[in-house]
């Protein structure tokens, strides 16, 4: 059994119910260890639709990474997300493999660790809550370190934006 982390989100339909159903279906092949709080987040990266509910799940599985991906996609389809969904479309459910143990995988249909997790506040918050000492296999930093760098970078952006918005006399 391998320790895995899965990002979960929904911004279409009954979001709470979609997440509950997905978690229930996950238990068929994933032993759940911890589930983060569910966070309400604004759509990012051009995704259409309403606000998301997002969280992170820590579990264990005996599925290979490819089998896990197919299993997660089957749950998405069972809950109404089309297999051929358009990029940036609304999601009844979205399940992303964030980490699969310490594996690094780069294939055309599967990249682990998830390539944008260090830029997504809701993912980092969830990971901080359930496993802050986990070390990102690519970045060689703990979630705690990545979270701190993310917060520091965002506070610098806010300070820069305030300076840029001040009127000159």
pLDDT in tens, 8-52: 999 999 999 999 999 999 999 999 999 999 999 988 877 788 899
Q: Assess whether 120 carries a catalytic annotation.
A: no
Distances (CA, A) of 79 to 56, 65, 73, 93, 126: 18, 21, 10, 7, 23
Domain limits, the chain? 2-116
The whole-number pLDDT of residue 9 equals: 95
Q: Which two tokens stand for residue 86?
A: 């358009």
Q: Look up the CATH number of domain 2-116.
A: 3.30.70.560
Q: Assess whether 152 carries a catalytic annotation.
A: no
Q: How far is Cα 106 from Cα 93, in angstroms, rounded to an integer?
A: 24
Q: Which of 48, 78, 94, 156 is catalytic?
A: 94
Q: Which of 15, 78, 81, 119 is catalytic?
A: 81
The whole-number pLDDT of residue 43 equals: 85
The whole-number pLDDT of residue 160 equals: 53
Q: Assess whether 94 carries a catalytic annotation.
A: yes
Q: Which residue has the higher pLDDT, 36 or 154?
A: 36
Q: Per-residue pLDDT tens for 94-129?
A: 999 999 999 999 998 899 999 999 999 999 999 999
Q: Which of 48, 78, 91, 116 is catalytic?
A: 91
Q: Which of 15, 96, 118, 120 is catalytic?
A: 96
Closest CA to 113 of 103, 122, 121, 123: 103
pLDDT tier at 168, thresholds 50, 70, 90:
very low
The pLDDT of residue 165 is above 60: no
Tell me whether the omega of the peptide bond preceding residue 105 falls within 30 degrees of 0, making it cis. no
Please state the rounded mean pLDDT for residues 121-149: 96
């Amino acid at each position: 059994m391998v320790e895995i982390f899965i990002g979960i989100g929904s911004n279409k339909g009954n979001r709470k119910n979609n997440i509950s159903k997905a978690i229930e279906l996950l238990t068929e092949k994933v032993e759940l260890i911890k589930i983060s709080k569910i966070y309400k987040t604004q759509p990012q990266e051009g995704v259409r639709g309403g606000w998301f509910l997002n969280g992170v799940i820590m579990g264990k599985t005996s599925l290979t990474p490819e089998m896990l991906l197919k299993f997660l996609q089957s749950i998405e389809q069972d809950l109404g997300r089309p297999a051929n969904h358009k990029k940036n479309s609304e999601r009844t459910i979205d399940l992303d493999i964030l980490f699969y143990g310490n594996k690094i995988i780069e294939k055309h249909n599967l990249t682990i660790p998830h390539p944008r997790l260090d830029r997504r506040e809701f993912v980092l918050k969830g990971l901080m809550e359930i496993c802050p000492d986990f070390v990102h296999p690519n970045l060689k930093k703990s979630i705690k370190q990545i979270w701190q760098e993310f917060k520091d970078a965002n506070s610098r952006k806010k300070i820069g934006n305030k300076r840029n918005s001040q009127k000159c006399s």
